[in-house]
Structure formats: structure tokens, C-alpha cells
Amino acid sequence: MNAKVIVANKAMADLGAIWKGVTKYHDDASAYRTINALLDEAERLGQETTQRLGEQVDGFDGPPAREIYRWVCLAGRYELHYEVLPAYAMQPATVAILRASHARKDR
């Protein structure tokens, strides 16, 4: 069973910043393709066979317990941070995309 994928407000703002960064050096079509590819990756994280991809992020032990991962995608250029809900369930109901960023961005 596939999990529902939701994109948090901060992740939507991050996608807007990525759009702005891409259009600084490329045309709008390139930015459109990049954002669509990131959203496709987000949808992929909700598929049953690809849930819990990436490295689990420490520091979210709770309470309540949180299951957060960092997924590097698009040839290592971008990262998606996402949460599996409910935490540690065999069949998650939801995958929440928390943040999106360029992999070389300083945090």
C-alpha cells in the first residue's frame, strides 16, 4: 500500500528558493524540470517499495518518537528531508516532505 505524500509549507518555500536559484543561471524550463523532478522523487518516497530511503536523521527521539530521513536525489544535487508517519509503523500512512535543499547549500 502506498503512503500519502504531503509537502510541508517550509518544503514548498524551499522549492520556491530552488526555483529562484535555478533561474539565476538557467531558463524557466530548466527550473520547471528541476522542481517537477523533485516532486516526482517525493512521490516516489510514498511508494511501498521505496519507503525509508536514505539516512535516518538523529536527534528526533522524542517524545513523541519521530522517524526522519535525509534522501539525496537527482544525481546527488538535492536533498529531501522527510518524516514517516506514524513513526516506525510497518505500513506508514503518510510521508511528509519537511525540507528540500541543494546538497551544496550551507546549513
pLDDT per residue over 53-73, tens digit each? 999 998 777 778 899 999 999
Of all residues in the chain, the percent with pLDDT exceeding 90 is: 79
Q: Establish if 107 belongs to a structural domain.
A: no
Read off the pLDDT of each residue in 4-11 and give the average, rounded to a whole number. 98
Strands of the chain (E only): list them: 4-7, 55-56, 67-73, 78-85, 94-102
Q: Establish if 20 belongs to a structural domain.
A: yes
Read off the pLDDT of each residue in 17-31 and give the average, rounded to a whole number. 96
The CATH code of the domain that includes 92 is 3.30.2310.20
Helix, coil or strand: residue 16: helix
- Residue 48: band (very low, low, confident or very high) from pLDDT cuts 50, 70, 90: confident
Per the structure, the complete domain to which residue 82 belongs is given by: 4-102
What are the respective helix, strand and coil percentages of the chain, to the nearest 5?
A: 35, 30, 35
Task: State the Cα torsion 107-46-52-64 to the nearest 10°.
Answer: 80
CA distance 91 to 51: 9
Domain count for the chain, please give it. Answer: 1
pTM of the model: 0.90
Model pLDDT, residue 56: 93
